[in-house]
Amino acid sequence: MKRRILALVLISVLLFTVILTGCGSSGSSSTGGQTFVFAQGSDPRGLDPAYVDDGESSKVIVNVYEGLLQYKSGSTEVEPCLATSWTVSPDGKEYTFKLRQGVKFQDGTPFNADAVVYSVGRQLPPNRTDDMPYASFTFGPVTKVEKIDDYTVKFTLNAPYTPFLANLAMSLAAPIVSPTAAKAHNGNLNENPVGTGPFKFVKWDKGQSITLERNDNYWGAKPKLAKVVFQFIKENSVRASQLATGAIDAMDGLDPNDVKMLQDKNMQIFKDNGMNINYMAFNCSRPPFNDPKLREAVSHAINTDELVKYLYQGYSELANSPLPSFMPGYDKDLKPYAYDPEKSKQMLKDLGKENLNIKIITYSNPRPYNSVNGQKLAEAVQGYLAKVGITATIVPYEWAEYKTKAGQGEGDIMFYGWIGDNGDPDNFLSLLESKEIQTTLNTAKYANPVVDQLLEKARTLPNGDERNKTYQQIQQITGQDAAWLPISHALNMAAYAPNVKEFAVHPTGNIFFKNVTK
């Protein structure tokens, strides 16, 4: 009898333990409340917004930091955040911001004008360094940022700059960091992020996860979740299986092949127009692809229409331009080089490149703009190239290493993509500006002085027909020069458990967890 009672007690204890610890995604944290587990394909490159340029970093950063402005839910329209109001001088060169009072960083230090001057000032010449990839992209026209009083700052620009307010809401470069924390870590918060956001950093187990917890001193409405855990699971199918079994609460990088299985398990699928581009870039800075005719010949060899249908099964649309079709300035009449393998062969012969050998580098993990991963995409292109006599060797890298290799200019061809930061066409087309070669954002290392001049012109024009026509002209020139082969625009997709509420992917690809509940 005693043994029987003991067995019942042990079973009860075991069941209670399973309830508490099983399905780790639904447990309560020690701080009180729920833990939410979100899975993505790889680690961030870092967690200081001044030093990174990738989506994996951005998704964590937007929950820890905030900027002067933010985007409204579901759009790229700006609204106040750490700034409560602003004025613009008649000549469009001075922006004065009134700052929100009573806000503290997660280390307890005050947010004020000094913090803004520090965060922006470190990214302006002469402080700016080569490992700040978004600095010139975000603050290029800014000549000075100065404190007027404790809660007023003024930006001075060298020319009118239409995208400026949109840039200040971006998740990279623009967020305000704690000067105290930054100085304590030699000016770099990649490993120790401290912002004013709704969640604060707890730990980063490299290759495994990042844990954030609710910032109970947050100035706005407090998050419902106690903790958010970002898990790093490389394979799409593994993430989908984890979601189906309840081990995680949500995931991105959704493979089209997994959608039906997840729907059969009553998982919810988030779908929306994607503000992104999936592209192949030629290294234009050296032979063999410093020759635009060779780039054209290779472009004719690849059947992008067939490739997009085969790989993405209706969850991406064929691209004819860097710009998604719903963005201002998109040129609907632009015609990329058509698939014509016979023409490609003849051009290769005329150029004396019939037996061309090239090196392709790519990434091994899925990306929001390429759900099947870079290696599968590269292999599909490799097959097309073989049909016209080009031998391509593919070298894949994990994402963080790939970013470094791409920046160093390794490879003759590379695969890459872009998720729009702010809804402005400048944000996409500036990737083909020569000054962004040094920042590594211009992955093709393409330079055309006419394109540079048109980009500078477009930034000073007010939104409207003239600005849109200038961007259409840029698309026509860059399309003819074939620095990129545009491939596809992916739907913004993610999947989440049926008990999850208020989960959405923003047009910028970010996920804001402060309103999410289970």
Q: Sheet of 357-363: strands edge to edge?
A: 316-318, 484-490, 276-282, 413-419, 357-363, 391-397
Average the pLDDT over 338-353 and give the result.
Answer: 98
Tokens linked to 297: 């010949």
Pairwise CA distance, residues 273 & 444, whole Å: 26
CA distances from 390 to 286, 295, 337 (A): 18, 13, 18
- 212 CB-near residues (< 8 Å, 6+ apart): 60, 63, 64, 199, 200, 201, 202, 227, 228, 229, 230
CATH architecture of 64-184: 3-Layer(aba) Sandwich (3.40)
Judge if the upstream peptide bond of residue 126 is cis by omega within 30 degrees of 0: yes
| Closest to 74 (Cα-Cα) out of 225, 224, 277, 270 | 270
Q: Given a cut of 60, is residue 287 above it in pLDDT? A: yes
Q: Do 486 and 306 meet the contact criterion of CB atoms below 8 Å apart?
A: no
Q: Given a cut of 50, is residue 107 above it in pLDDT? A: yes
Average the pLDDT over 366-380 and give the result.
Answer: 92
Q: Do 297 and 353 meet the contact criterion of CB atoms below 8 Å apart?
A: yes
Pairwise CA distance, residues 64 & 391, whole Å: 46
H or E stretch covering 137? helix 135-139
Q: Do 67 and 81 meet the contact criterion of CB atoms below 8 Å apart?
A: yes
Q: Given a cut of 90, is residue 495 above it in pLDDT? A: yes
Q: What is the pLDDT of residue 33?
A: 79
Q: What is the pLDDT of residue 7?
A: 39
Q: Classify the phi-psi angles of 411: left when phi > 0, otherwise alpha if psi is within -120 to 50, otherwise beta.
A: left
Pairwise CA distance, residues 330 & 344, whole Å: 28
The more confidently predicted of residues 30 and 484 is 484
Give the CATH number of domain 22-43+206-271+493-518; options: 3.40.50.300, 1.10.10.10, 3.40.630.30, 3.40.190.10.
3.40.190.10
Q: Do the two domains 22-43+206-271+493-518 and 276-490 of this chain adopt the same fold?
A: no
Residue ranges per structural domain of the chain:
22-43+206-271+493-518, 64-184, 276-490
Q: Within 10 A of 40 (CB to CB), how many other CB atoms are there? A: 26
Residue 12's pLDDT band (cuts 50, 70, 90): very low
Pairwise CA distance, residues 383 & 372, whole Å: 17
Q: Given a cut of 50, is residue 125 above it in pLDDT? A: yes
Q: What is the pLDDT of residue 71?
A: 96
| Closest to 131 (Cα-Cα) out of 65, 56, 48 | 48
Pairwise CA distance, residues 332 & 218, whole Å: 45
pLDDT in tens, 404-456: 999 899 999 999 999 999 999 999 999 999 999 998 999 999 999 999 999 99
Q: What is the pLDDT of residue 17?
A: 35
Q: What is the pLDDT of residue 21?
A: 33
Average the pLDDT over 354-379 and give the result.
Answer: 94
H or E stretch covering 154? strand 152-157
Q: What is the pLDDT of residue 345?
A: 98
Task: Give 393's DSSP letter.
Answer: E
| Closest to 56 (Cα-Cα) out of 70, 69, 38, 35 | 38
- Cβ-based burial of 3 (10 A; exposed 0-12, middle 13-18, buried ≥19): exposed
Q: Classify domain 276-490 by CATH number.
A: 3.10.105.10
β-strands 268-272, 413-419: how paired? unpaired
Sign of torsion, CA 113 115 119 122?
Answer: positive
Sign of torsion, CA 498 310 238 54?
Answer: negative
Whole-number percent of the chain with pLDDT over 70 = 94
Whole-number percent of the chain with pLDDT over 90 = 88
| Closest to 241 (Cα-Cα) out of 254, 223, 230, 227 | 254
Average pLDDT of the residues of the chain: 92
Question: Rounded to the nearest 5°, which phi and psi values hold at 404?
Answer: -65, -45
Greatest CA span in the chain, whole angstroms? 93
Task: Give 461's DSSP letter.
Answer: S
Average the pLDDT over 63-72 and give the result.
Answer: 97
Average the pLDDT over 327-334 and give the result.
Answer: 96
Q: Given a cut of 50, is residue 1 above it in pLDDT? A: no
pLDDT in tens, 210-268: 999 999 999 999 999 999 999 999 888 999 999 999 999 999 988 888 999 999 999 99
DSSP character string of 63-101: HH---SEEEPTTS--EEESSEEEEEE-TTS-EEEEEEPS
Q: What is the pLDDT of residue 11?
A: 36
